[in-house]
Amino acid sequence: MSQTAEKIVPCYPLFQQPEYRETLKKKAAEYENREPANVIDETFEWTTSPEYRALNFQREALTVNPAKACQPLGAVLCSLGFHATLPYVHGSQGCTAYFRTYFNRHFKEPIACVSDSMTEDAAVFGGQKNMFAGLQNAKALYEPEMIAVSSTCMAEVIGDDLNAFITNTKKDGRIPMDFPTPYAHTPSFIGSHLTGWDNMLEGILRYFTLNSMQDKEPGKSGKINLVAGFDGYLGNYRVLKQMAREMGVEATLLSDPEAVLDTPADGKYRMYAGGTTQEEVKQAPNAIDTLFLQPWGIDKSKKFVKETWNHPTTAVDAPYGLAATDQFLMTLSRLSGRPIPASLELERGRLVDMMADSHAWLHGRSFSVYGDPDFVMGMARFLMELGAEPLHLLSNNATKRWGKAMETLLASSPYGRRGEVHFGRDLWHMRSLVFEKKPDFLIGNSYGKFIQRDTLHKGKAFEVPLIRIGFPIFDRHHLHRQTTLGYQGAMYLLTTLVNAVLERLDEDTRGMAETDYNYDLIR
Amino acid sequence: MLTQDEAQKLIQEVLAAYPPEAAEDRAKHLAVLDGESADGGGCGITANRKSLPGVMTIRGCAYAGSKGVVWGPIKDMIHISHGPVGCGQYSRAGRRNYYVGYTGVNTFGTMNFTSDFQEKDIVFGGDKKLAKLLDEANTLFPLNKGISVQSECPVGLIGDDIEAVAKKKSADLAKPVVPVRCEGFRGVSQSLGHHIANDTIRDYILDRPNAAFTGEAGPYDVAVIGDYNIGGDAWSSRILLEEMGLNVVAQWSGDGTLAELERTPKVRLNLVHCYRSMNYISRHMESKYGIPWLEYNFFGPTKIADSLRRIAAKFDARIQAGAEAVIAKYQPMADAITERFRPRLQGKRVMLYVGGLRPRHVIGAYEDLGMEVVGTGYEFGHNDDYERTQEELKNTTLIYDDATGYELERFVEQVRPDLIGSGIKEKYVFQKMGIPFRQMHSWDYSGPYHGYDGYAIFARDMDMTINNPCWKMMTPPWRQPGAEAA
């Protein structure tokens, strides 16, 4: 008997008990038709071989363990960043259940989002009836100030016209004519969650500004617009606002979900909190410029801002690490005419101080990185600043042009010499890559834990430990609250990286009378 | 405790927020049930109908029911999420259907295989890509025992013939390749996905030529049907069944294998835990192979003992004695658990809103701990689920079918239960409201909850959540009634 009232154990270690081991052994031996152990072992070894890598890279049709999600997920996150806005997804309802769940698990927060639950009849006749009832019900029940409509692939395949459906809903009197209903078509078979974020932002900017440009003039407000893009770190929205504040620059974050994704536990549930207001969006064309901080994958919004708002959309890199943050601040300074304040210079100095303190543990260590294109590029740049070596740089949702830019970046530093760039590849490719050429660490979201387990199964010497930085992070708590951008973000990244190195060293040297050396108290 | 009148009033208040048409529809899904006035009519609830647009239903889709629930856990087969990339990503490794195996070698449960449809696949059709990826999957994962193709929405809209592709590839690869038409727009919830998945197991696994199990079937062979091994539930169940002398030759589908599915038509009895998702295949095996099936409930010692005896009654004296021996062995442990936790949980009121079997099956376990269920409802139940629920209810109970976010919030505000058991989408709403909450789909990353070992964990978990100090910290001291001004 496994449990007692005094000691109750869950799955692990419960199933370690002999009686459970016995029943599982019997199940495997008698009922599962499992291959002999040697066949399994040989097959596993084969999956770690160069021949397998070659076969794996010949894949043309099959994706295994992707590192990207689909458009409407991004549209929902973008919508959440606007004040009192209810994201509304036109199409099958299961998608919305998935989007909510995916964000629930990462942010550990409620996610308000509705679907108009299209079913087979809507597939035949189109989803206009669903839009009629959906907008009416959503507005009545949840009293948003804005409903931001995106679409699932079902609605896209049958060709539903969001603009017409929304207009007809209003004409039918279901919701007032002037009720804000920006929309974006977000077909999941094009691009990724980044594309959907971009499309939704463009939809919102268009809705509130396209027909009111007469009195708008770049620079009139003296403000600067910042576009963070799809970002799973709450701290990043905060640090962008903080850097601007310290500069004395009035900045508008176009989509700012940090408040709604971080409401307090005080006895009350708030469906809406904070976010970019409609007024801020309406005034955004009067800003000096709009900076897109995830430039890879924001084409549509950028084009709109350039052509309709006549903003220069000055190019900046995602501000990961030292130099990119420097560049970002200098750009802000140049555009606003405000000097970079002593407080930020002090923060920079502290970051460089930390880099000096930790360089001996990071110099020459190799890291493979996967994730969204700007994240991978930003991490690669920061790693090289630390004297570390980016090894495999993989982005599932990046383009060939990104690949070229990455090659150029790697060529710019001696630490980029060993770097390999892979775009449009998935995490099963990454598995082959790290078996072929072992990095010291893997950097990415929670999905990487399976690569760590696979490499460990080959042997301790092959194990590639995962450092969790990215989106989503499901299996560690509260990391989404951290900051990865700016000097502050670089401090968090550096702290995470160097301590991963030191943790690993401890793990490797914890053997009593075996590796007493290098198991140091002081480092 | 709400009275019948208060509960009715609450329902009317909630309905008042809806536009008239929607209110009329929702009224059919909400009810108050009094233990004594039970009429056996399934609470008079309308169930398994379309969700209203825009109301924030908690429901998922047919794909979720097929890939996520029924097919996905079959561990030695590869399940392709056929269509755009999202569905497979969002449903990857989320349900905690535990299994043991060499993932990526002979088992594939926590992986995500997808055709990652691009625009050209929508325009020109995805059949060629499907044929090619089936070959690629079989080349890279040669120990797979078969492949299922889980259709996402676009597949059914662009006229692809996945059945033809599957038929050809099944012949080429000499393995089952199962086309599953579980596009998300079919039906009104996960439920149709379960049914479609059951039917495809029937047509493409059980009826596959020359695939039948040819070994000797034993007199005590049983299959566990509708246990997804969440947190290891099926393992803490099979151990009891084996201990009483039965052979559990198949698990459907948690930690399940193709061989186990194929062997099931020879068992003596199918033991059905989740009726909702697998009654279809159980009825099929009854009519085609003459295998009786029995619904059982392994939550909480009262229901477990009752179920063990009902199961044993289908067998001979040896098994009946075995069941009594199992009960005698575990009852003292269960009693000790109850004794430890009951004083801490006595009288606590629970609201449930879950899927499958749980809105009724877990009631007994709460009652074993002295707790009362004051509200319950199904995400995707049918009328027969509500009929089965009625007999479990004792006190005045709110019943809500396909509840909306709005309704749940209002109900909870008024009822102020001591515990809510529901899903991740609901969890953080209610925690912020200061109500202890347990996820009752995933066991909140704990479990198992089935069987005697599971009961101990269930009791521990309910106690740790209800009695954790955090719920008393929501109001700062300076805002407490009677506090001095700061």
Nearest to B113 by CA among B133, B139, B142, B143: B133
Q: Are A239 and A485 in contact (CB under 8 A)?
A: yes
The pairing of beta strand A85-90 with beta strand A146-151: parallel
CB contact under 8 A, B53 and A130: yes
Alpha carbon distance B88, B96 (integer Å): 15
* CATH placement of domain B62-187: 3.40.50.1980
Contacts of B132 (CB under 8 A, 6+ apart): A60, A61, A62
How far, CA to CA in Å, does A169 sit from each of A10, A75, A164, A289? 52, 21, 9, 36
Contacts with A28 from chain B: Cβ below 8 Å:
100
Res. B39 pLDDT band, cuts 50 70 90: low
Buried b (16+ CB within 10 A) or exposed e, A442-475: bbbbbbbbbbbebbebeeeeebbbbbbbbbbbbe
* Residue B486 predicted with pLDDT over 80: no
CB contact under 8 A, A97 and B60: yes
Cα three-residue angle B266-B68-B356, rounded to 5 degrees = 75
Contacts with A261 from chain B: Cβ below 8 Å:
none
CB contact under 8 A, A93 and B51: yes
Q: Give the pLDDT of residue B482.
A: 84
Alpha carbon distance A281, A78 (integer Å): 13
Residue ranges of domains in chain B? 4-57+335-473, 62-187, 221-325
Contacts with B26 from chain A: Cβ below 8 Å:
none
* Residue B407 predicted with pLDDT over 70: yes
Mean of the per-residue pLDDT values of chain B: 96
> In whole angstroms, what separates CA B350 from the centre of its chain?
19
CA distance B300 to chain A (A): 14
CA distance B130 to chain A (A): 7
- Per DSSP, helices labelled H in B315-450 are 317-345, 358-361, 363-368, 383-390, 405-415, 424-432
Res. B36 pLDDT band, cuts 50 70 90: low
CA distance A47 to chain B (A): 8
Q: Is A172 helix (H, G, I), strand (E, B) or coil?
A: coil
Q: Average pLDDT for residues A222-227, to the nearest whole number?
A: 98
Q: Is B450 helix (H, G, I), strand (E, B) or coil?
A: coil
CB contact under 8 A, B17 and A154: no
Alpha carbon distance A304, A300 (integer Å): 6
Q: Is B425 helix (H, G, I), strand (E, B) or coil?
A: helix
Q: For residue A122, give both structure tokens.
A: 């809507």
CA distance B434 to chain A (A): 5
CA distance B35 to chain A (A): 32
Q: Give the pLDDT of residue B477.
A: 95
* Residue A267 predicted with pLDDT over 60: yes
- Class for domain B4-57+335-473, per CATH? alpha beta
Catalytic residues of B: 61, 64, 95, 194
Dihedral sign (CA B473, B475, B477, B481): negative
Among B132, B142, B184, whose Cβ lies nearest the Cβ of A92?
B184
Q: Average pLDDT for residues B15-37, to the nearest whole number?
A: 91
pLDDT in tens, A360-377: 999 999 999 999 999 999
Q: Give the pLDDT of residue B395.
A: 81
CB contact under 8 A, B21 and A60: no
Output phi, psi for A365, to 5 deg: -75, 145
Among A73, A93, A140, whose Cβ lies nearest the Cβ of B61?
A93
CB contact under 8 A, A4 and B336: yes
Output phi, psi for B96, to 5 deg: 60, 40
Alpha carbon distance B311, A502 (integer Å): 56
Select the residue from B59, B78, B121, B153 to test the A interface by mutation, using most A Cβ atoms within 10 A: B153
Catalytic residues of A: 153, 157
Nearest to A259 by CA among A241, A279, A243: A241
Select the residue from A21, A32, A95, A193 to test the B interface by mutation, using most B Cβ atoms within 10 A: A32
CA distance A204 to chain B (A): 20
Alpha carbon distance A296, A320 (integer Å): 14
Judge if B62-187 and B221-325 fold alike in CATH terms: yes
CB contact under 8 A, B424 and A104: yes
Nearest to B467 by CA among B334, B350, B341: B341
- DSSP letter assigned to residue B142: T
* Residue B262 predicted with pLDDT over 80: yes
Select the residue from A7, A59, A62 to test the B interface by mutation, using most B Cβ atoms within 10 A: A62
Alpha carbon distance A79, A69 (integer Å): 17
Alpha carbon distance B478, B203 (integer Å): 66
The pairing of beta strand B113-114 with beta strand A63-64: antiparallel
CB contact under 8 A, A112 and B56: yes
Q: Average pLDDT for residues B361-371, to the nearest whole number?
A: 98
Among A71, A88, A100, whose Cβ lies nearest the Cβ of B425?
A100
Res. B77 pLDDT band, cuts 50 70 90: very high
pLDDT in tens, B174-201: 999 999 999 999 999 999 999 999 999 9
CB contact under 8 A, A134 and B260: no
Dihedral sign (CA B440, B441, B447, B450): positive
Contacts with A65 from chain B: Cβ below 8 Å:
92, 111-112
Largest CA distance in chain A: 81
Contacts with B404 from chain A: Cβ below 8 Å:
141
Alpha carbon distance B477, A489 (integer Å): 34
Q: Average pLDDT for residues A192-211, to the nearest whole number?
A: 98
Q: Give the pLDDT of residue B42.
A: 58
Residue type, B101: G
Q: Are A315 and A290 in contact (CB under 8 A)?
A: no
* Residue B302 predicted with pLDDT over 90: yes
Q: Give the pLDDT of residue B211.
A: 80
Least CA distance to A106: which residue of chain B? B424
Percent of chain A predicted with pLDDT > 70:
100
CB contact under 8 A, B136 and A23: no
ipTM associated with this complex? 0.98
Percent of chain B predicted with pLDDT > 90:
92
Domain B221-325 belongs to what architecture?
A: 3-Layer(aba) Sandwich (3.40)
> Does the pTM of the predicted model rise above 0.80?
yes
Mean of the per-residue pLDDT values of chain A: 98
Alpha carbon distance A170, A177 (integer Å): 5
Question: Hey, which residues 48-87 in chain A have their CB within 8 Å of chain B?
Answer: 52, 55-56, 58-66, 68-73
Dihedral sign (CA A115, A119, A123, A126): negative
Percent of chain B predicted with pLDDT > 70:
97
Which residue is listed with tokens 């995470």? A496
* Residue B215 predicted with pLDDT over 90: no
